[in-house]
């Protein structure tokens, strides 16, 4: 036990990261409290909770638990989730039951909380899974950035994350879809695949030694794809990184990837409570890719992506262009640690352009953590040059201004 609590694991960097995550959690809790005080009930949130609660109660028997529970007459005024489900035979084309199970997990033991009189407890419990995901994504972001770029990179990435309005809204489920679980799954899948590939040259038995990372990779893939079917794109991307990083161990890399995919499929199958018919029907109604090629020729689509990124994190509006210029002009910045998150973020943004509606918002959100890693890597590189003083002042100015603006906006929410 004494070997676990070492200075390497719990030193000053870990303490500072924990303080930043506590600040992030405090902001999320503030938004959660303002949510129930406002008295507004989001119909989509109620829909998620009702479907998830039905799934937990019936264990997927009869209806899959996330289909419509009863026929709906055309005369009824439908909430947006129901409008999306009806044309698809009652199935959610974008999410597996896992998405609803996670949403309703805190209510599984007490479905009575769905009654209108329990609105306070309902808001708090409904946000709790995503608060956990938000903290875990922040911790993963800091861990990856620190391993890649040192303490400076870890601090930059985590500070941008902890004061990101888009991340805060998603984690607190404040007028936003709860996509933070999907983001953690996608982020974990990519960087776990990279970590597994780096261990393939170690002088140990590959499969047995990596079993924890294999399970983690499978869990990440299941969480990503189960939360948003279109994130199946991370499955081949993870394999591509593994094959690139282990060119002489591609058979072993492919075997690990196949096993991880098997774990992910088993977990997704479990979200259907192991009902084979419901599982295959759900996948048959799933929309994995719904790209509108015409959107790439629409200038407003590009303006929309820029606006959405600004809403997710105003700092990215300045930081990303500066980081891109540095990356393409300065050869030293073009190495794998910077290139990998840039490629993944670019892929998500390209997909967001081609899916201008609901899925596009999801892809845009998935890109944000990878952009934080990319910006942190460029910032860490600049801090190691002879122009460190200028770089340090610029980085500090950006982080402080972004945090200050975010806290000001939170205060305005409190007055509203």
**pTM for the complete prediction?**
0.89
Number of domains forming the structure of the chain: 1
CA 36 to chain CA centroid, Å, is 24
Model confidence pLDDT, tens digit, residues 75-116 = 334 445 544 544 555 678 888 999 999 988 887 766 555 565
Match 């009806």 to its residue by tokens: 86
355, part of any domain? yes
* Per-residue DSSP letter, 200: G
| Mean pLDDT, range 331-345, rounded to an integer | 95
Which whole-number Å values give the CA distances from 298 to 1, 348, 363, in the listed order? 59, 18, 18
What sections of 39-91 are H helices per DSSP? 43-58, 80-85
Give yes or no for residue 352 having a pLDDT over 80: yes
Which whole-number Å values give the CA distances from 261 to 140, 206, 253, in the listed order? 21, 17, 12
1, part of any domain? no
55, part of any domain? no
74, part of any domain? no
Percent of the chain with pLDDT strictly greater than 70:
81
Match 């404040």 to its residue by tokens: 174
Match 């601090």 to its residue by tokens: 155
Give yes or no for residue 186 having a pLDDT over 60: yes
293, part of any domain? yes
Kindly write down the DSSP assignment for every residue of 291-308, as one continuous string: --GGGGG-HHHHHHHHHH
- Tell me, what's the pLDDT at 175? 77
- Give the E-state strand segments of 53-203 in sequence order: none
| Mean pLDDT, range 390-394, rounded to an integer | 94
113, part of any domain? no
165, part of any domain? yes
Kindly tell me the number of DSSP H helices and DSSP E strands found in the chain: 17, 0
- Tell me, what's the pLDDT at 25? 96
Which whole-number Å values give the CA distances from 61 to 68, 107, 195, 203, 273, in the listed order? 13, 19, 39, 48, 8
349, part of any domain? yes
Domain span holding position 183: 26-38+126-415
- Contact between residue 353 and residue 291 where contact means Cβ atoms under 8 Å apart: no
Residue 18 vs residue 35, higher pLDDT:
18
- Contact between residue 183 and residue 140 where contact means Cβ atoms under 8 Å apart: no
- Please, which pLDDT band fits residue 71 given cuts at 50, 70 and 90? very low
């Amino acid at each position: 036990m004494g070997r676990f609590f070492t200075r390497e694991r719990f030193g000053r960097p870990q303490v500072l990261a924990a303080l930043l995550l506590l600040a992030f959690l405090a902001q999320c809790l503030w938004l959660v409290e303002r949510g129930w005080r406002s008295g507004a009930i989001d119909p989509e949130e109620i829909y998620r909770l009702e479907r998830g609660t039905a799934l937990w109660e019936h264990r997927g028997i009869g209806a899959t638990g996330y289909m419509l529970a009863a026929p709906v007459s055309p005369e009824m005024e439908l909430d947006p989730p129901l409008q999306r489900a009806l044309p698809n035979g009652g199935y959610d084309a974008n999410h597996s039951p896992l998405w609803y199970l996670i949403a309703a997990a805190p209510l599984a033991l007490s479905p009575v909380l769905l009654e209108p009189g329990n609105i306070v407890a309902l808001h708090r419990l409904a946000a709790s899974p995503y608060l956990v995901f938000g903290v875990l994504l922040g911790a993963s972001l800091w861990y990856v950035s620190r391993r890649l770029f040192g303490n400076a990179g870890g601090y930059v990435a985590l500070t941008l994350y902890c004061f990101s309005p888009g991340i805060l809204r998603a984690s607190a489920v404040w007028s936003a879809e709860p996509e933070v679980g999907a983001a953690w799954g996608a982020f974990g899948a990519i960087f776990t695949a990279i970590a597994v590939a780096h261990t393939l040259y170690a002088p140990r038995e590959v499969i047995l030694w990596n079993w924890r990372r294999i399970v983690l990779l499978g869990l990440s893939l299941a969480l990503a794809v189960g939360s948003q079917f279109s994130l199946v794109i991370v499955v081949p991307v993870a394999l591509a990184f593994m094959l690139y990083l282990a060119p002489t161990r591609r058979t072993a890399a492919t075997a690990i990837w196949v096993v991880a995919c098997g774990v992910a499929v088993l977990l997704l199958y479990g979200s259907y409570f192991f009902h084979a018919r419901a599982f295959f029907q759900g996948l048959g109604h799933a929309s994995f890719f719904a790209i509108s090629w015409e959107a790439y020729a629409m200038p407003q689509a590009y303006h929309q992506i820029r606006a959405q990124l600004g809403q997710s994190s105003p700092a990215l509006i300045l930081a990303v262009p500066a980081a891109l210029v540095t990356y393409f002009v300065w050869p030293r910045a073009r190495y794998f640690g910077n290139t990998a998150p840039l490629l993944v973020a670019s892929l998500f943004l390209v997909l967001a352009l081609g899916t201008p509606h609901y899925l596009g918002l999801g892809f845009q959100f998935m890109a944000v953590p990878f952009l934080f890693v990319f910006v942190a890597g460029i910032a860490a590189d600049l801090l190691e040059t002879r122009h460190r003083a200028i770089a340090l002042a610029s980085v500090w100015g950006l982080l402080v201004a972004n945090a200050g603006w975010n806290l000001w906006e939170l205060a305005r929410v409190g007055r509203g």
